[in-house]
Structure 1
Amino acid sequence: MADKIALVTGGGTGVGKAITRALVGEGFQVVITGRRAGVLEDAAKEIDAGSVHAVACDVSDREAVASLFRTVGEKFGRLDLLVNNAGVSSPSVPLEDLPVEEWNKAIGANLSGSFFCIQEAFRMMKAQKPRGGRIINNGSVSATTPRPNSAPYTATKHAITGLTKSASLDGRRFDIAVGQIDIGNAASEMTAKMSGGVMQADGSMKPEPTIDTAHIARAVAYMASLPLDANVFTMTVMANQMPFVGRG
């Protein structure tokens, strides 16, 4: 995988940062993007300033995404791997009380941003020589089993599964492999509250276990290591003790 080019959205913190570290370890040059330039630059310096390249971008902004991909094309001339990792959660409030601004924020970051990046990646991967590439979407176990008061996040993750399927089908004839990793309780800023208790399906509050983001990163690195005639279409990596399988 040496000298291959990857783009990781939401790459400055949490899962995205861990994925970036793992890809660099496999020889990738990695462009990381997110809304906060300072955070991205700090992450690049911490991991490997020679192999990690920070480019600020709000993926919910269509024109900003187009500019991001132009930058990647101008600097590297190709893109071998896109990891659609950027995303946000929403306030845990009753569905009927959720402000429309929070709904739109989740749709923009979690769904539209992934779609915009896939569009641009398709254009680049179809045109480059050798043709093709790989796209890995960050889904969630919420796409299968939602939490209480999580309609925006859950809806976007269900949609990511559909987007993965459609993009996988549409990319086949262009040697573009599209897959998805569904994550359950990776330790990050988004899951920090779980140690203090999170609402369960019966309305009770209970702490939940988390797992190190390095486990997610290793899984993504494996998916990225495959030749383009092979694909991990879906993979679930989760805390083994979390209340996901079964009725509690």
Structure 2
Amino acid sequence: MTGAGSGIGRSVALALAGAGWSVAVAGRRTGPLEETAAAAGQGADVLPVRADVSAPGDVTTLFETVRERYGRLDLLFNNAGTFGPAGVPLEDIAYEEWRQVVDVNLTGAFLCAQGAFRVMKEQDPQGGRIINNGSISAHVPRPNSIAYTATKHAMTGLTKSLSLDGRPYRIACGQIDIGNAATDMTARMRTGILQANGQLAVEPVMDAADVARTVLHMAELPLEANVQFATVMATAMPYIGRG
């Protein structure tokens, strides 16, 4: 599981560990990963692995570590992501800022899926499951969010290609599109965020644990069944009718 040091990643890691899964939690900072492992409690098998998903060498080491520790890989939750510069008009976005969002959200997801494919194809019994963290922004954008929105739309294409390419190897791939889970990334929604009509509005949020329960359901299906796309959102958020 990537991006497991906080927010949705931590909530999902705790849900999986609580259900008896052995979980490798990855992220750029060791401290938050160790906090996630500690929060799982004694008896839980949670392995912190420092890895930057945008660095191919880190991703290779991550999957080698998982295979050495557990002998196989049954689930990848491609969760790591960054929003990028908030509220910046597209003409003012620096190339480096654009590149960072693409490298983490899209290239990082690809690299991790590639690593998972290599393990899942070779193991016996063959197969496994990949769940990609999309977003409501995989469907509709927010104002001034071009980098994030572009990568999340691309995530949908990645999910579909992984699903097709994984069929011969019993590798299932689905996507969960999340709207307004209460995390550090969404903190500004509780104080007022720009809407399509130019006004600021406070938006409702939901507990990240509600997302975790959905991911757990997707993860525990037999490989003969797959949730291809699921949308989990704060009920009253301005998504239906956004704009």
Q: What per-residue deviation string (whole Å, max 9, x for no partner) do you get for residues 76-130 of structure 1?
A: 1100000000000111200000111110110011010000000010010000011
Structure 1 equivalent of residue 23 of structure 2: 30
Rounded to whole Å, the distance in 1 between the matches of 2:242 and 2:70 is 49
Structure 2 equivalent of residue 122 of structure 1: 117
Tell me the SS of whatever aligns to 1:23: helix
**1:218-233 equivalences in 2 (<5 Å):** 218-233=213-228
- Kept in 1, the 8 Å contact 2:12–2:212? The answer is yes
81, 84, 93: which is aligned to 1:87? 81
2:71 pairs with 1:77: yes
17, 38, 41: which is aligned to 2:10? 17
Rounded to whole Å, the distance in 1 between the matches of 2:54 and 2:25 is 16
Tell me the SS of whatever aligns to 1:201: coil
**1:47-62 equivalences in 2 (<5 Å):** 47-48=40-41, 50-62=44-56
Q: Percent identity?
A: 57
Rounded to whole Å, the distance in 1 between the matches of 2:84 and 2:95 is 11
- Structure 1: runs of 5+ lacking an equivalent: 1-7
Normalised by the length of structure 1, the TM-score is: 0.96
Rounded to whole Å, the distance in 2 between the matches of 1:170 and 1:102 is 31
Structure 2 equivalent of residue 5 of structure 1: none
Tell me the SS of whatever aligns to 1:9: coil
Rounded to whole Å, the distance in 1 between the matches of 2:139 and 2:155 is 12
- Structure 2: runs of 5+ lacking an equivalent: none
Large movers: runs of 4+ above 6 Å: none
1:140 Cα deviation after fit? 0.3
1:247 Cα deviation after fit? 4.4
Structure 2 equivalent of residue 194 of structure 1: 189
Rounded to whole Å, the distance in 1 between the matches of 2:98 and 2:77 is 23
- The alignment's C-alpha RMSD in Å is 0.9
1:48 Cα deviation after fit? 2.9
Tell me the SS of whatever aligns to 1:78: coil
- Kept in 1, the 8 Å contact 2:18–2:40? The answer is no
Normalised by the length of structure 2, the TM-score is: 0.98
Please tell me the residue identity of whatever aligns with 2:84.
S
